[in-house]
Amino acid sequence: MARSIANVFKAYDIRGVYPSELDDELAYRIGRAFALYLKPRHVVVGRDMRVSSPTLAEALIRGLLDQGVDVTDIGLVSTDALYFAVGKYGFDGGAMVTASHNPAEYNGFKLCREEAQALSLDTGIGEIRDLVLRGEFPEPERRGIRYQRDVLDDFAEHVLSFIDPTVVKPFTIVVDAGNGMGGIIAPKIIGRLPVRIIPLYFELDGRFPNHVPNPIEPENVRDLQRAILENRADFGIAFDGDADRMFILDEHARFVGGDMVTALVAKALLEKHPGARIVYNLICSRAVPEVIRQYGGVPIRSRVGHSFIKALMRQHDAIFGGEHSGHFYFRDNWYADSGIIAAVTVIELLSREGVTVSQAIAPIDRYYRSGEINVEASDFAAVLQALEEHFRDGQIDHLDGLTVEYPDWWFNARPSNTQPLLRINVEANTPELLRAKTEEVLAVVRRVTGKSAR
């Protein structure tokens, strides 16, 4: 068991193949360990549509109850609806049974404490892992009581409170739920707006018969692209498996990066909250802080990862935070991420401005980006040192890995939190400069690692 446990406790969640790495017995132990670590009186548990989610949820709940914790079961929900329930109703913590965008054989848990503060390896998951390994669970004075609650109507009202639904125009929107939780969330929330939804794969099916619910991979949005063009839709929206991440495609079926969506949401919120602070991660386009300043906001640069972004948001009372990966965080959502809040915010912005997605993006998307390039590496320090030496005439910082900036281009190279990979992002003012500088960066990396980009 020790080897499988070491594998399933990740930087930001608990995740593994069911049942070879993560089974019902381990889920039960995680429930008891979560209770021992957090010492909550009452927690909430939700689950996604994966085939193994009902039995894993039952095992987790049994562990919590046996450790003396009351549990409210909210059933099939998106992860952001789980965070909403924790914050809105004042639960001491929450657990979502999901493996997010991973293939069908995976499952896992996203855990949070009060006010939807997510646990990471350094803030609880590591301690829960150690309690599971120890396997010593003292008998409580009482067994917990189980309750059930439907939260989706309240969640829909909460999401729509971020916008004025009366200004929304009658867009035609193709929504790809990927057989994930977006199939419940989209009609419940976007369906309340005066728009026409063309649904793709709204049927909940944890086997994912159509495509893996990971929209950041090009092959997983091909059906959405086709449907946008065939239906002459105004744009498309894709959700990942647990529907906490959201991606937009424009009216020409072109993928819009998460950093560009961050810029759009920032613009929309700054029109309502002048002078607000907004957090963005350091591999977002330079356009993001430029847009924030342009519309009177204060940009705050962050390391990659939700724990860093949320900490900065709380520290600076930032109204919003965004990542290139499709995670969007809102102060008035207990600093938790929500793809659906970002989606309705963009719908309202497009309606108010009377523009298409491509027209909204055009003045913002002024640079050329490599996208994330992954290279296998065992000695991260040696690679970063070589890069810093080669590009020593640039402006250098070490906030997250290595960032080197020049007036007309920049790059970041940082170790992955979860794999032996160096993640590289390059941005430049022209496509020619992007190609040249990306190759220059990769040549240095190849010289040290002997590996080519994946």
pLDDT in tens, 40-78: 999 999 999 999 999 999 999 999 999 999 999 999 999
pLDDT band at 2 (very low <50, low <70, confident <90, very high): low
**Unique residue bearing structure tokens 């102060």:** 331
d(CA 418, CA 163): 36
Query: Is the pLDDT reported for residue 417 higher than 80?
Result: no
R_g (Cα) of the chain, nearest Å: 22
Pairing of strands 196-200, 172-176: parallel
Query: Is the pLDDT reported for residue 199 higher than 70?
Result: yes
DSSP state of 167: G
Active site residue: 53, 100, 285, 338, which one? 100
**Unique residue bearing structure tokens 């929309």:** 268
Residue (of 238, 220, 290) closest to 259 by Cα position: 290
DSSP 227-261: HHHHTT-SEEEEE-TTS--EEEE-TT-PEEPHHHH
20 is catalytic: no
Our CA dihedral for 26, 211, 251, 248, rounded to 10 degrees, sits at: 10
d(CA 118, CA 334): 11
258-361 adopts what CATH topology?
Alpha-D-Glucose-1,6-Bisphosphate; Chain A, domain 3 (3.40.120)
Structural domain boundaries of the chain? 2-150, 154-255, 258-361, 368-449
Residue (of 327, 337, 307) closest to 125 by Cα position: 307
What integer is the mean pLDDT of 241-270? Answer: 97
User: Angle, to 10 degrees, between the axis of helix 339-353 and the axis of helix 152-160?
Assistant: 40
d(CA 78, CA 184): 8
pLDDT band at 229 (very low <50, low <70, confident <90, very high): very high
For residue 144, give every residue at least 6 positions away whose Cβ sits within 8 Å of its Cβ, in sequence order, or none: 64, 65, 66, 67, 68, 69, 70, 71
- Could you give the C-alpha distances from 309 to 258, 322, 387, in angstroms and in order? 15, 8, 26
pLDDT in tens, 279-303: 999 999 999 999 999 999 999 999 9
Query: Is the pLDDT reported for residue 418 higher than 90?
Result: no
pLDDT in tens, 354-409: 999 999 999 999 999 999 999 999 899 999 999 999 999 999 999 999 999 999 99
Question: Given this model, what pLDDT does residue 4 score?
Answer: 64
- Could you give the C-alpha distances from 9 to 3, 5, 169, 193, in angstroms and in order? 11, 6, 45, 40
Burial of 392 (0-12, 13-18, 19+ CB in 10 A): exposed
d(CA 332, CA 163): 12
Per CATH, 2-150 and 368-449 having the same topology is answered no
Give the rounded percent of residues in the chain with a pLDDT score beyond 70: 99
Can you give the pTM of this predicted structure? Answer: 0.96
| Domain 368-449 sits in CATH 3.30.310.50 | yes
d(CA 341, CA 332): 11
Pairing of strands 93-97, 14-17: unpaired
For residue 47, give every residue at least 6 positions away whose Cβ sits within 8 Å of its Cβ, in sequence order, or none: 53, 54, 56, 57, 75, 76, 77, 96, 97, 98
d(CA 305, CA 323): 8
pLDDT band at 305 (very low <50, low <70, confident <90, very high): confident
What integer is the mean pLDDT of 427-448? Answer: 97
Helix, strand, or coil (residue 298): strand
More confident position, 166 or 306: 166
Structurally, what CATH architecture does the domain formed by 154-255 represent? 3-Layer(aba) Sandwich (3.40)
d(CA 86, CA 73): 12
d(CA 307, CA 317): 15
Question: Tokens standing for 190?
Answer: 């976007």
Question: Tokens standing for 232?
Answer: 């002459």
Looking at the domain that runs over 2-150, which CATH code has it been given?
3.40.120.10
pLDDT in tens, 310-368: 999 999 999 999 999 999 999 999 999 999 999 999 999 999 999 999 999 999 999 99
pLDDT band at 306 (very low <50, low <70, confident <90, very high): confident
Question: Tokens standing for 74?
Answer: 């909210």
Asked if 411 and 403 touch (Cβ cutoff 8 Å), the reply is yes
- Could you give the C-alpha distances from 448 to 46, 52, 288, 326, 379, in angstroms and in order? 46, 43, 32, 32, 9
DSSP 308-358: HHHHHHHHHT-SEEE-TTS-EEEGGGTT-B-HHHHHHHHHHHHHHHT--HH
pLDDT band at 452 (very low <50, low <70, confident <90, very high): confident
Query: Is the pLDDT reported for residue 86 higher than 60?
Result: yes
